[in-house]
Chain A
């Protein structure tokens, strides 16, 4: 069960990053507040709300994961985020990922397999 909680932590972290990137690209790049009311609009924006609630859920699942796993084992497992983030950057946001970056992700995954089996 603890590993399910780790997986949910990673899922919601990535979802949070996705919403943050959307907000940065679509909302904040051209954000030029002229009135206090403009800031109020940010509070109800679905992308920022999505980012906040995703991060809150990620934290909640992380707390539950820690109940069942040693922190020296569970914490490094979160590095799966790098793979997920890279995939998101590549296939959702069309960024180019160099060969050395993919190699880095591969090395991270080998490290994670070692930690998971330790």
Chain B
């Protein structure tokens, strides 16, 4: 494996972990916050659950960081490798959310099958030459 590919895979794993952590933190955080109507009322802002606010903020931060790293991954790995790797985050989120009591979500065969199909589909979509992997039609000087 070349140094560029190694760096690409390492960063992809980091981005993958952060993207999954982001979803899990956002879920925990938002579960502790009130519905939209209450969130829009500034008078209630000081009464919000600090853990809910912290979890949601941490989730947004992980999400942003994962996107920044992801852009770097795209310069190092082919799209046909990068996108199927990213779809692994569905599996990570599913496993953590169903196996860790803090989330306590229910696993089911249907959901497992659905997530596996989605991953297979993403791999097909990302195959080299599957879509226009070039710059596409240049709108400004076609």
Given A86-B131, A95-B131, A110–B117 Cβ distance below 8 Å? yes
Given A67-B33, A112-B118, A114-B111, A107–B124 Cβ distance below 8 Å? yes
How far apart sit A76 and B98, CA to CA, in the bound complex (Å)? 14
Given A104-B122, A112-B118, A89–B132 Cβ distance below 8 Å? yes
Check: B50 CB closer than 8 A to any chain A CB: no
B77-120 vs A, Cβ < 8 Å mask (1 yes, 0 no): 00000000001011001100110000101111011011111111
Residues B45-102 near A (CB distance < 8 A): 56, 60, 63, 87, 89-90, 93-94, 97-98
Minimum Cβ distance to chain A for residue B138 (Å): 6
Check: A34 CB closer than 8 A to any chain B CB: no
**Pairwise interchain contact B114-A101, C-beta atoms closer than 8 A:** no
| Chain A residues, CB < 8 A from B139 | 22, 25-26, 93
How would you classify the secondary structure of chain A's contact residues: helix, strand, loop or mixed? helix
Check: A57 CB closer than 8 A to any chain B CB: no
How far apart sit A61 and B102, CA to CA, in the bound complex (Å)? 23
Given A95-B131, A118-B110, A100–B117 Cβ distance below 8 Å? no
**Pairwise interchain contact A115-B137, C-beta atoms closer than 8 A:** no
Check: B12 CB closer than 8 A to any chain A CB: no
B25-39 vs A, Cβ < 8 Å mask (1 yes, 0 no): 011001101011000
Pick 25 A–B contacts, CB within 8 A, sort by A: A25-B135, A25-B136, A25-B138, A25-B140, A29-B138, A70-B27, A70-B105, A71-B23, A72-B97, A73-B105, A75-B89, A79-B90, A79-B122, A86-B125, A89-B136, A94-B136, A95-B132, A96-B132, A98-B131, A104-B123, A107-B117, A113-B114, A115-B111, A115-B114, A116-B114
